[in-house]
Structure 1
Amino acid sequence: MKNIFFSLVVIFFLASTSEATVPCGTVDMKAAACVGYATGKEPKPSPACCSGLQQLAGTVKTVDDKKNICRCLKNGVKAFAGVQDKFLSQIPAVCNIKVGFPVSLNTNCEAIH
């Protein structure tokens, strides 16, 4: 299952530190709980959304890890109709995740550093 958060969330996790490149399946699984908020169907990100993204952020060790997670999230979000940038961009702040770059459907993953 691909999840929308590749991009919104994808991007927040990228700013952390930890281990080697995370598989897209893991990224999708960690971001899945954020779809309701990203589509505007839920008033705030669920605890599972924030927890999953914080765990994902904890796996980032290199810039390549950030870029990979970003790519996974951007591809995953395509599977969900109705994902809105205005909600995606709020997830890092609401979940207290420091990303270091704007979270958006339009984020250029290759420009992340």
Structure 2
Amino acid sequence: MKLSTPAVLAPTILVLLLLIPATEAAIKCSDVVKALTPCVNYLKNGNGTPTSACCNGANKLNSLATTSSDRQTVCSCLKTAAQNINPNDAAAKALPGSCGITLPSPVSKTVDCSKIS
């Protein structure tokens, strides 16, 4: 009995589809960190104004976080980053306004990311 090509390919395609992750986060922490790396000095020192590179990164991050899931991912990444760099609270709070944007989440060590919508 000779099998047709579709009959042979169908099980192979099914196995390949099962191996592909069902969903993949649209935003990764590495993207968040990369976007806000130019802001680290401003956030740590808390003086002056953020650089244009910092504001460009924050703006890019803001435009990437389009869904609640994205915003919660950004929040978790920012929270972890804030724990590592220990930002000046006033500078972290002022960053979005200084750049003329609204970030999906504050740069804070204490934010509850489950409440970000």
Same fold, judged at TM 0.5 (above): yes
Do 2:42 and 2:48's aligned partners in 1 also have CA atoms closer than 8 Å?
yes
Q: Give 1:95's aligned residue.
A: 99
More helix by share: 2
- Give the CA deviation at 1:60: 1.4
How many Å separate the matches in 1 of 2:104 and 2:72? 13
RMSD: 2.0
Q: Name stretches of at least 5 consecutive residues in structure 2 with no aligned partner.
A: 1-24
- Give the CA deviation at 1:108: 1.1
Q: Percent identity among equivalent residues?
A: 29
TM (norm. structure 2) is 0.70
How many Å separate the matches in 2 of 1:76 and 1:99? 15
How many Å separate the matches in 1 of 2:34 and 2:65? 16
SS in 2 for 1:90: helix
Q: CA, structure 1 residues 100+54, in 2 after alignment: closer, same or farther (shift >3 Å)? A: closer
The structure with the larger Rg is: 2
Q: In the alignment, is residue 75 of structure 1 matched against residue 80 of structure 2?
A: yes
Letter in 2 for 1:40: N
- Aligned length, in residue pairs: 93
TM (norm. structure 1) is 0.72
Q: Give 2:4's aligned residue.
A: none
